Amino acid sequence: MQLLAAKGRVNIQAQSDDLSMSSQQNLDIQSSEGKVTVSANQELILACGGAYIKLSGGNIELGCPGQILLKSTNMQKMGPTSLDIASVEMPRGFGGGFILTDEAGVPQPSTPYRLTTAEGDILQGITDENGKTAPVNTSIPSVVKVEFGKVKIHGEQNDKISGI
């Protein structure tokens, strides 16, 4: 499987949970003409064979079961400094529910409904005592098809009234 973009940016996000990448063989991260930036708000750990580099709370911790070899022509010890990188702001998404009322504006409790998002996600249930549906959430603003009245819920087929 390949994910390719011949032109333009590719952005992959887990907006409300973890994102995990794993490989049984090699995992290669490269930038052919730019830089690679890895940042974390709380802690960043690079580990291999029991050795590790941990960045946390403004500190750098090195640890290993063997030796630390420093190979360089020169080494300078300078005063403290820091680099602030802006955190990624995750979109909160869009959401809301519906309230089913009659022509007089009186909420209609215990009414079966089905909500279908533009992405094809389906949420169905029965309105609560205030005529409210469960909230429906989407990552971008989109049209939600609302069906209410006698709809197919839990395998029972009935007539339905639709609205958008």
Model confidence at 155, in pLDDT bands (50, 70, 90)? very low
Find all residues with CB under 8 Å of 98, minimum gap 6, and list them: 113, 115, 132, 133, 146
Summarize pLDDT for 60-90 with one digit per residue, the tens.
999 999 999 999 999 999 999 988 887 777 6
Give me the percent of the chain exceeding a pLDDT of 90.
34
Question: What is the spatial distance between Cα 45 and Cα 56, in angstroms, rounded to a whole number?
Answer: 9
Domain spans in the chain, listed from the N-terminal domain onward: 41-73, 95-163
Structure tokens at 124: 């169905």
